[in-house]
Amino acid sequence: MSNEILQKVEQLTQNGRLDVPKATPRPAATRFTDISDIEGMRTAGKLAADVLVMLEEFVVPGVSTEQLDIIAHNYIVEQQGAIPAPLNYHGFPKSCCTSVNDVICHGIPNDKALKKGDVVNIDITIIKDGYYGDTSKMFFVGPVAPHAERLAKVTQECLYLAIDMVKPGVQLGDIGAAIAAHAHKNHYSVVEEYCGHGVGTTFHGEPQVAHYGKAGTGVALEEGMTLTIEPMINAGKKQVKHSGPDNWIAKTKDGRLSAQYEHTLLVTADGVEVLTRRPEETRFA
């Protein structure tokens, strides 16, 4: 089966990347009251989630993250009529982020083949009609070590418990404190140099969503806000080191594994809508 997948990957990537469609400029906003804006965010969120679902079959030993990037890029452009937001964003050279093993975030796709036992976070952001959908998840390359699987599981739990808290009036310090408490209870650390953020008709906006904090502090959520929560959890210590062009790539300083999950969320009148929900996430249906 893996040979068939590798052949399919070769076919899908042999012609390189397609040209990106023209952008639809909109005033920057991360809170919406108009139903047309909310529908725009729903569409963008679903498309971003669809990219992760599509990539699942291709994350196998022998495939490079460069090939995954080309597949994602062309799917976004050709099948979705959308734009891969990371491409050329502040100089980022690729269309998605692929963070392997000890890379925390902003890993740059390259020609190195993935090998059995690797764990990789793929972070997808698309722009459709001026609206952004931003999401990421962990992929396992074949069977992985139990400790790697456990780290990913706890990281996803951190995201899910945070999502369950989202509703008008909840303060971001409450959410950050809950994420950190769950990570620390499991003997992991929380990366503090990066955070979630407002997202809407702009890639990164207010509010900043830290994944640690003090309960009872911070911005209070309001209906209509659209934002990401994206905890980065390390197996070892929280310290980060940077490398690569423009220091984009963030790695764990101690070389141990890191994991991340991310969703784009809409704060509703009585709770939350997960705009980047994947089909298997029936808890948010």
Q: Is 204 annotated as a binding residue?
A: yes
The reply, when asked if residue 182 is annotated as ligand binding, is no
Question: What token pair was written down for 224?
Answer: 């209509």
Contact 65, 107 (CB under 8 A): yes
Answer yes or no: is 230 a known binding residue: yes
56 is in an annotated binding site: no
Structure tokens at 64: 């490079």
Q: Is 134 annotated as a binding residue?
A: yes
Let me know: does 208 contact 195? Beta carbons within 8 Å.
yes
DSSP 188: -
Is 263 flagged in the annotation as binding? no
Residue 106 marked as a ligand binder: yes
Chain CA centroid to CA 168, Å: 23
Cβ–Cβ under 8 Å, residues 220 and 169: yes
Separation of alpha carbons 108 and 93, rounded Å: 8
Per the DSSP assignment, residues forming a β-bridge with 220 are 171
C-alpha distances in Å from residue 50, one per residue of 5, 42, 93, 197: 19, 12, 22, 21
Binding residues for substrate: 106, 204
Binding residues: 106, 123, 134, 197, 204, 230, 262
Binding residues for a divalent metal cation: 123, 134, 197, 230, 262
